Structures are given as C-alpha cells and as structure tokens.
Homo-oligomer: A and B are copies of this chain.
Amino acid sequence: MADVISTNPETGEHRSLGFEEDGDAEVVAATEMAAAALDDYASRSLNWRAGLLRTIAEELESDAANLVELAISETALPTTRLEGELRRTAFQLRFFADVVSDGTFLDATIDHATDSPMGPLPDLRRMRSPIGVVGVFGSSNFPFAFSVPGGDTASALAAGCPVVIKAHPAHPATSAATFEALERAARRCEAPKGTVNLIFGLEAGTALVDAPQTSAIGFTGSVGAGLALWERANDRSVPIPFFGELGSANPLVVTESAAAERAAEIGSSLAGSMTLGVGQFCTKPGLVFVPGGEDGDALVAATVESLSALGPFTMLTSSIADHFRRGTEAIAAISDVRPLVQHDPGSDAHASAQLYEVDAARFVGRDAYALREECFGPSALIVRYHSKDELRDALLASEPALTFSIFGVDNDRDGRWLLELGARRSGRVIVNGFPTGVGVSWSMQHGGPWPSTTSSASTSVGAAAVERWLRPVTFQSVPDDLLPPALQEGNPLSIPRRVDGVVHYER
C-alpha cells in the first residue's frame, strides 16, 4: 500500500508519516478487534463510560499546543479557530459524559405484568442497547470536532459502542496524534483492548463499510462520497444504518422589513458568516434571498464591501480548491447570473470570496440546477425576489437543507409562513442569526431532510446524536438478577425510567 502522506496546504509540502495505508485485511482485523471488545465495553458501568469520555477530553487538552500546531500545518486554518475547535471537542466529550450519566438515553421502560382487555400481559422491560461496532468517517473541515475525537466518536463511545475511525486524508498527522490521546485515555481507564481503532486510506474506508463486523456508520462529508458509501452500506448482504451528514446550501431569507431596518448590518455580517472557516462549513449560508429594490441593493452593497476586504484564503486541500473553482465557474456560466465579487485568488491552492446575484425568476429555471447546489467554499448566491410568490417558488425550488435562516423584524407578517416552510424543509430554523454556529447542547439538531442528511430522523450534534448507535431490546419475564442493571426492579443505576406508564425522573 501507499505511504500515508501529510500535506501542508499553505506551502504545498508533503511528508510521509512513515507508515502505510490500511488494506482490507487490516480493516477487517480492526473491526474484529472492536467486535471482540463490544461485550466487555458495553457492560461497563455508566460512570466508568462517562469517566472514559472525560479522560479523553483531558488527554486532548494536555497535548493541545502540539495538536493545534499539527492541525495548522495540515489545514491552514487560523490558530484561534483551531484552539476554539479543540476546546469545543473537549467540551463535547464532557457533554456526552453528562448525557451518559443522566441515563435518559437508555429509554428504560418497565411494564409489570397486568391484565388488559386482550388478556394477561407478561412483565415487559425495554431499553436501548449498543448497536455494535461503529465505523466513523472523519471530515475534512473540522480536524478535531468532526474527526477522530469528534462527535461521532464521542457519541458512539457514549452509547457503549467500540469505534473504528477512518482518518481523513487532509489531516493524517492530526488524526494520528488525536488518536494517541484516545489511546492514552483508554489505557488510563483500562478500557477493553480494541475499544478505539484508527485506519487510513480511501480503500480502507470502503473496506470499513463492507466489513461484516461493522454495525453502523457515521459519516460527515460531501454528497458524492456520502451517497456512494450509503449505497455500499445498503448493498451489503446485511445492510447497516448509514448516518451521513452531507451538507447543504442553507437558504437564508431577508424579509423586506428587515432589509429596510438594517440592510448594512445584515449585509456585512453575511460576509463574515459565508467566509467563516473559508466557507468550508456544511452550514455556510449559500443561498441568500434578498428583496428587490433599494433596501436590498444596500444590503448587497454592504456584503460586497465587506468581502472586498477579505482573502485570498488557503483552502483545506488543493482538491477542495479545485472543486470550489469548478463550482463557482458553473454558477458564473449560467446566463443572467451577475458576478458581484469575483477576485482572482492568485494560485491554485487558494480561493477568494465569490458573490453572485440572480433574479428569483431565473433561479427556479430547469437549466439552473448549479445555482441551487451547495458550493463548498467562500461563496454565496444572492437571489433577488420581487413578491411573496416569487420568494416562495424560489425557496421550494432550492433543496431541503440542514438549516433555514430568516432575518425579519418583530411583528413581521412574513414570519409565520417562512418559519413553517423552513421547519418543513430543514433540521434547524434560525431567526435573526446565521447558521454557521452549531452549539453542542441538549436541543441541537444537526441533520435535515434528504439530501442534506441520509437519515433525517438523526442528528450528528447534540445529546440525541447518541441515539444513532442504539437499538431497543425488550426483556419479557426475565428474572431480576438476569436483567441488565438499567431494568432491574431496584433501579441500581438511579436512572429515569417509565414504570407502568408513569415516568419517574427523580433520583
């Protein structure tokens, strides 16, 4: 196999990490190691599991300077952003430790034997159990928070599932170093051998989806790669759930009243949101619906002005920069599209901010699909609308998305229908804010209808992310001492449970 190579996108330098990509046999062996760890790992106490997650957070923090430096050399992202992302990653691990300790995620439910109109019902006790070995595909754009030590890994470990993580080729050295933090934590906590595993290489990724011991996949990345792997997961002799978070164009609507009230503020903030992380966010606002007329003109002018002060930027990889170039060229090639900001980035590895404008009537055209697709990078398309009907038609022509943002004002008559449309066509509706921050919390939803996510009922951020890795099992008439502790009569884990229809939350 080929050596694993780390590339500095800023300088173009390559260096070998001194080991090879993994072949099928290594991947199968890793999943078998993980499967062998499953029963032991899954049966550890909730407190122990929470402790492992907290220890991983500590180990990441103790190596923070080195990790950030490595990540800078592989992503060209700024220091403050990467420091913040590492903080978020540690916070996320501790948050999932809290979710584990809380115990609600087990959904423990007990119905004692009783009579019913259908005759006697036996003692029935249901809980969620770990689904098995989870395969995790690290993303390109978040070397910590959505990669080796990221949300998929943290939530799978929280659920009681060993993980086999496929490193993203854009940051193999960061992946290896963050994996060492996972391994140190696993050793300190005496986790079963095989609880965490790391593999490298494109072929290793497909082998991970194919491996008989893989029970589910978490993926963050492009629509193309995601759908190819999703099909592969379905083509197995035993198909497995594939949770793909694939990104989207993230519509953002500015109402007429909002444009009238604060065109300049919204316009300049938009420039910041669409170029955050060089626009390499799955939540980047890519489609901005702005009213025609002077207020809208003023908003667009403010965006143009703010963008002019920015860039050029180094993108994560030359391949991503290539894609961005081709994507913006496809937009520019569509007739009636007006380029507003279109600087020359100066080099192939770089990108400059791009802003285009089109009328809503043109946006809905059959031949204008490129306008409605996600374009990953620092670009946006302004869609100018001249009536509510035009706006609605344009919104319905865009694809369902991860997020849907509305800038309006108090008592805005337009608020309600836009909220309803946004809730129907996205996973998160935002009022007077930009979609680019995805807070880790109990109530975050990061996942929307197809094609933004392969499973719209799931989230890859927030407490509910753990639900992806669980499968319910009911125990009927099982003697108390043979039941899992979560379902034993005395509630030894002190977790919230529904008993005979009534939830007992208090400890």
Contact = CB atoms under 8 A, between A and B. Distances in A.
Interface of A: 39, 84, 87-88, 90-91, 98, 102, 104, 107, 109-111, 116-119, 121-122, 124-126, 129, 131, 234, 238-241, 410, 415-416, 419-420, 423, 426-433, 437, 439-445, 447, 449-451, 454-457, 459, 462-464, 467, 470-479, 482, 496, 498, 501, 503, 505
A429 B122 CA distance: 12
A458 B120 CA distance: 25
A427 to B, nearest CB: 6
A119 B450 CA distance: 31
Given A239-B450, A430-B476, A433-B477, A118 B91 contact: yes
Contacts of A111: 439, 441-443
Given A420-B39, A429-B475, A477-B430, A118 B445 contact: no
A418 to B, nearest CB: 10
A472 B455 contact: no
A472 B442 contact: no
Contacts of A433: 122, 476-477
18 contacts: A84-B119, A87-B117, A90-B117, A91-B116, A104-B503, A109-B442, A109-B443, A116-B439, A122-B439, A124-B444, A238-B451, A416-B482, A419-B482, A423-B475, A427-B473, A428-B473, A431-B478, A432-B477
- Consensus secondary structure, chain A interface: mixed
Given A118-B88, A118-B439, A439-B118, A429 B478 contact: yes
Given A124-B443, A457-B471, 14 more contacts: A111-B442, A116-B440, A126-B442, A126-B443, A126-B444, A238-B450, A410-B479, A415-B482, A429-B473, A430-B477, A431-B477, A433-B476, A449-B471, A505-B505
A126 B445 contact: yes
Given A445-B126, A457-B241, A496-B503, A419 B474 contact: no
Contact of A476 (B121, B129, B420, B428): B428
